[in-house]
Homo-oligomer: A and B are copies of this chain.
Amino acid sequence: MPSRSIEDYIKTVYELQGKNQRVFTKDIARSMGVKMPSVSGMVKHLAAEGYLSHKPYKGVLLTKRGQRIAVDLLRRHRLIELFLNKTLDIPWDEIHEDAEVLEHVISNKLIERIFNFLGRPKFDPHGHTIPGKDGNMPLSRGIPLDQVNEGETGCVVEVSDHDPEFLRYLTGLKLKIGSEVLVKEHAPFGGPIMLKLERQSLAIGLDAARRIRVDIKKKVGKRSN
């Protein structure tokens, strides 16, 4: 029932609010590529419809109702991405854009068919958890690579999917979901992180490292705090 535009506002707020941070007009506008008055207007409407609560000049927060919409959309988005990747063999850097459109128009029946066809999967091609039909919000797994201590080894579990360039960069490095990376050194002053990946050494910028999440392999022995 909500329009495509409404769905996209809700999804944007969901992504921006993280674990219940208030979200501001300016950030919604920037993230969606619209001007602030458009956001003000739509926010008023979304609040009236009960999708979010709005304290003027103090930002918005999704209601349960709004979160439900967002999580459903995320489920669709991620199932579509996985379907395009697995079935049509479309590389992981090209699926997001198509999914961004299809998430709004694919019928529920079709989504559930896709879900079953894919074997009731848990994760999309970028490692993101696929929410269940129940509307429970999925947690991000792992921790950002830039927060891993020197000497620790992690298994890549999630990467950011909004920037195709970034995904192609990872592909070039042969870094994928499941790769094991050993953090050798944090260069100081916002410098790069030195990694060992499949016997290869490489340096990764902080911006990139923040978009990669890993599960730490508990190493027996030395563990800095």
Contacts and interface: CB of A to CB of B under 8 A. Distances in A.
Contacts of A98: 106-107, 110
Given A87-B87, A90-B113, A114-B88, A105 B102 contact: yes
A108 to B, nearest CB: 11
A106 to B, nearest CB: 8
Contacts of A114: 88
A169 interface: no
Contact of A88 (B84, B102, B105, B110): B110
Identical copies in the complex: 2
Interface residues of A, number: 18
Main secondary structure of the interface of A (DSSP, over half): helix
A101 interface: yes
A64 B84 CA distance: 34
Contacts of A117: 87-89
Contacts of A87: 87, 117
A73 to B, nearest CB: 15
Interface in A90-106: 90, 94, 97-98, 101-102, 105-106
A88 B94 CA distance: 22
Contacts of A106: 98, 102
Contacts of A84: 110
Contacts of A88: 110, 113-114, 117
Contacts of A107: 97-98, 101
- Which 4 pairs between the two chains have the least Cβ-Cβ distance? A88-B113, A101-B105, A88-B117, A98-B110
